[in-house]
Amino acid sequence: MSGRCAASAAVVSPYPNRDIDRPPDRPNNRLVLARVLSAALVGVQAALVRVEVDVAAGLPAFNTVGLPDSAVRESRERVRSAIRNTGFSFPNDRITVNLAPADLRKEGASFDLPIALGILAATGAVQDGLLAPFAVVGELALDGQIQAVRGVLAVALTCRRQKIDTLLVPVENHAEARAVDGLRVLAASTLRDAVGLLNGEGSASPPPPSAPVPPSATDDLDFADIRGQAYAKRALEIGAAGAHNVLLVGPPGAGKTMLARRLAAILPPLTRDEVIEASTIWSVAGLLPRSGALMCRRPFRAPHHTISVSGLIGGGGPPHPGEVTLAHLGVLFLDELPEFQQHVLESLRQPLEDGRVTIARASGVSDFPARFQLVAAANPCRRGCPSLDRCVCTPAERARYLGRLSRPLLDRIDLHVELPALAPDDVRGPATGDATETIRVRVAAARERQRERLRTPGLRVNSAMSARQVRRFCVVPADAERLLAAAITRLGLSARGHDRVLKVARTIADLDGVETLRAEHCAEAIQYRGLDRQWRG
C-alpha cells in the first residue's frame, strides 16, 4: 500500500527529483510574467488589449481568461504546436494568459501571435523589455507560419491614437497597416522571424509585391449604353450630385437595374480620409483583398430581398456591421423593393435619417457609420406586367403592391422616378445621351460647390443638411414659395418631404452653376415626388 502511494506521489509531482513542496530554483534572469500589447475589434474600431502571460511552477496547464471566445480559447493548441515546430522550447509549467481589460469580449485568432510571443518572453526566448513599445496581431498556423487577420487597419488607427509607435503584423497585412501615417509597421512571415525582429537579430520581411488592382465592375458600365430613359438619367445625375436617395419604378426590362448599377460610376472618387474610413469597415468585415489594397472606389452593395434585419442593419453577439455599413460612402441598391419583408424595410428609417446605426444588445451597445446613398427599384405591380395599358392587375392590386412601401420610408427617398416601357424605336435605334465620364465631371463640379458652401466638418453634400442649414442655404423667391405651398396641399408633403424637395432643388441649382434658387429648380424637384401623388390617391 505504501509503495502505491509513493508511486502515485512521484507521478503527480511537478518537480521530479525534488521535495514535492519545494519549487525549483529559477535563474534570476528568467521572466515568469510577460506583457504584450494587442487589440480587440469593437464594432468597426479596435481597443488595445494587454496580453499578460504568467509561467509558474505547477502541473502543466494552459488557461486563458479575460472573456475569450472559442477561437481564442483554441489558440492554446495552435500556439503550443507553433512554438515547438519552429524550434523553441514550450514550457512544461502552468501557463495562465490574461486578456485585459477582462470585461471586453475578445474574439478571433488574432491573439495567437501575441500569446506565443508572451510565452517566449516569459521563458527568456524574447529579450526582456523589448516588447513594451510594440502592438502585435496575427494568427498562427501549426508550423509557425503567421496568417493574415481582419481589422488590421482599425488596429493601426488605434495604435496611432494611443501613441504606440510600432505594430507587428503578418506580411499579408503589411500594405494595409502602412496606410496609416506616423506608425512604424513590422511584418513577419513566421514565428521565428517575429522573435528575431523583437530581439533585433533580423530585418523586417519585405512586403509582398503589390498585386495589380483589378478593374472595377463600374469601369465597363457606361450611361451611353442605356437606350432612352432620359428622364431617369437626369434624375440619377441629380441624385449623384447631392447624394440623394432614388426609387426607380417601372416595368421589367425598362432599364432600372442598368441605371442603378451605373450610378456608382458617376460618383466622384473617394478622398484620402474617405479611403481610410471605408477601408477600415471592410477590413473589420474581412472583405479587403489579401494583397492589402485599400478601397479605391466607392462601395456598391446589392443584397437579395430575402436578407434579414441583422444582415441589412447589423447585429449578432457581439454586433457586426451589416450591408448599410458596408455601403458607407457608397451605394446600397435594393432591387425589387416591395419584395423585402416589411420590418426589414422599416429598419432603414433611422440610418437613412441619421447616417448611423446604433445596435443595443445585452453585451453592450455598438455604433456603426451608415452614410450611404439608397437606390431602389420596383415593378409597378406584383405580376410585373410589361406596361400599364397591358397590365392584368386591378388598380387595387397595384396600389396594394406599392403600398408595402410605407409613407415614412417614402418620405426619406428624395427622387421617385417612373420609367416607361421602351418604345420600339428606342430598342432598335442607337444609344444616345452623355457618356459616364461627361456626367461624372458635372457631378464633381456640383459637389465641389456644395463643399465650398457648407464648410462643415463631416458635411459634404446637400442631402446631409440639417433643417437649420436648409433654411439658410435654400432661400427661395416668392413664386417658388407659392409653388411649394401648392405641392404641400396637393401632394400632402410632410415637413420632412418639404425640406427634401428644397435639398433636391439646391442640387439642381448646383448642377446649373447658380447660387440662387429659382422657381424652375423647385418645380423640377417637385416632379420627382410622383409616389406622394399616388399615395394620396
- Summarize pLDDT for 105-121 with one digit per residue, the tens: 899 999 999 999 999 99
Average pLDDT over residues 458-470: 88
Average pLDDT over residues 345-361: 91
Residue 49: predicted pLDDT? 96
> How does residue 533 score in pLDDT terms, banded at 50, 70 and 90?
low
Query: Max CA-CA distance within the chain?
Result: 109
Residue 203: predicted pLDDT? 58
Please state the pTM of the whole predicted model: 0.86
Residue 362: predicted pLDDT? 75
Percent of the chain whose predicted confidence (pLDDT) is above 70: 86
Average pLDDT over residues 67-93: 94
Domains and their CATH numbers in the chain:
33-198 (3.30.230.10), 217-447 (3.40.50.300), 465-537 (no CATH)
Average pLDDT over residues 60-77: 94
Q: Is the dihedral of CA 299, 302, 303, 305 positive or negative?
A: positive
Predicted confidence (pLDDT) at residue 14 exceeds the cutoff of 60: no
**Dist CA 43 CA 320 (whole Å):** 6
> How does residue 455 score in pLDDT terms, banded at 50, 70 and 90?
confident
DSSP structure string for 35-63: EEEEEEEETTEEEEEEEEEEEESSS-EEE
Residue 18: predicted pLDDT? 37
Residue 13: predicted pLDDT? 32
Residue 28: predicted pLDDT? 44
Task: Pull the grid cell for residue 155.
Answer: 488596429
**Dist CA 89 CA 91 (whole Å):** 6
Predicted confidence (pLDDT) at residue 12 exceeds the cutoff of 80: no
- Summarize pLDDT for 390-447 with one digit per residue, the tens: 788 888 888 888 888 998 999 999 999 998 887 777 666 666 778 889 999 999 999 9
DSSP structure string for 445-465: HHHHHHHHHH-BTTB-SGGG-
Predicted confidence (pLDDT) at residue 388 exceeds the cutoff of 80: no
**Dist CA 174 CA 203 (whole Å):** 14
Triad 254, 259, 264: Cα angle to 5°: 170
Predicted confidence (pLDDT) at residue 27 exceeds the cutoff of 50: no
**Dist CA 351 CA 490 (whole Å):** 29
Triad 368, 371, 374: Cα angle to 5°: 120
Cβ distance 226 to 255 under 8 Å?
yes
- Summarize pLDDT for 280-315 with one digit per residue, the tens: 999 999 998 866 788 888 999 999 999 999 999 998
Q: 50-59, 219-228, 493-502: which range is least confident on average? A: 219-228
- Summarize pLDDT for 175-224 with one digit per residue, the tens: 999 999 989 999 999 999 999 998 887 655 555 554 444 444 445 678 88
Residue 532: predicted pLDDT? 67
Cβ distance 210 to 293 under 8 Å?
yes
Q: Which residues contact 80 (CB under 8 A, 6 or more apart)?
A: 62, 90
Task: Pull the grid cell for residue 203.
Answer: 530585418
Higher pLDDT, 391 or 507: 507
- Summarize pLDDT for 162-172 with one digit per residue, the tens: 999 999 999 99
**Dist CA 191 CA 145 (whole Å):** 6
Predicted confidence (pLDDT) at residue 129 exceeds the cutoff of 70: no
Cβ distance 150 to 284 under 8 Å?
yes
